[in-house]
Amino acid sequence: MKEKISPLVVFGIFGVLASILLIVLFGTIGVEEVILSDSASAATSSNVAVTAEVTTSISCDSSPGSTAFGPLSSTATTTASPNASTTMACANSGNGCTLYVKDAGNTTNGGLATDTPAYLIPSPNAAFAASTTLAANVEGYGIQATSTVAGGSGNSLPVELRYAVTDNDVGGLVVGSETQALATANSSTTGREVLITHLAVVSDVTPGGNYVDTITYSCLAN
């Protein structure tokens, strides 16, 4: 006799198989989800370049805009009045800055000049040397320089030797595209003032006339 299988048993067997199948399916789905999750968490990176600029600031402020000798003498040195000054500042300049001076003069040499008649009182003397001692009845013209601090604190600037003179000694002025260093700051600085004294003397044969000169001061980074 053939054995009959109860529908309940068949159902039970099917139920067990279905449960096993579902477990396998769920397990497979679980594995797929983990794989997808691993793929989604993979990271990428990129760089952002950041740039900046610090600008060096340099300024020269000269005051007053003019000075006058009045009548020049052949018997003694004359000093122009008032003295001129230039205040120099250089910010964000690691090597500092330098104050330069140059003279309008004529096309070749510096000095006090007149057009009528055309004549030049040379700077600092007829030899156009770097410096000289002015003497009575010998034509010459030049400047002296000292340094102070605007506001009265801190260190002054070192002045070039040709201009760091006193009494009747003067430094000569150069012309054209040339410039002559006057004072130098070796690091960033502010409020450093250079005071300029102008001196001149003439001789008995210097032609009469109105003599003028233009001196330019400029500051440049070192």
pLDDT tens-digit series, residues 5-56:
444 343 333 344 444 444 344 444 444 444 445 555 667 888 898 978 777 7
Provide the number of structural domains found in the chain. 1
Is there a domain that residue 214 lies in?
yes
Q: Looking at the domain assignment, is residue 13 inside a domain? A: no
> Which residue range forms the structural domain that includes residue 87?
58-221
Pair 99, 182: CB distance under 8 Å: yes
Domain assignment present for 117: yes
In a domain, 187, yes or no: yes
**Residue whose C-alpha is closest to residue 220's, from 184, 192, 190:** 184
Identify whether 79 is part of a domain.
yes
Mean pLDDT of all residues belonging to the chain = 79
Per-residue confidence (pLDDT) for residue 178, from 0 to 100: 72
SS3 content of the chain, % helix, strand, coil (to 5): 15, 35, 50
Nearest to 192 by CA among 124, 93, 103: 93
pTM beyond 0.75? no
pLDDT, residue 21, reads 40
* pLDDT, tens digit, 9 for 90 and up, residues 118-150: 999 999 999 999 999 999 999 999 999 998 876
Report the alpha-carbon distance of residue 153 to residue 155 in Å, rounded: 7
Buried b (16+ CB within 10 A) or exposed e, 163-199: bbbeebbbbbbbbeeebbebbbbeebbbebbbebbbb
Neighbours of 120 (CB within 10 A): 19
208, 82 Cβ separation under 8 angstroms: no
Residue 7 lies in a domain: no
**Taking 50 as the threshold, does the pLDDT of residue 101 lie above it?**
yes
Residue 84 lies in a domain: yes
Structural domain includes residue 17: no
Unique residue bearing structure tokens 């096993």: 20
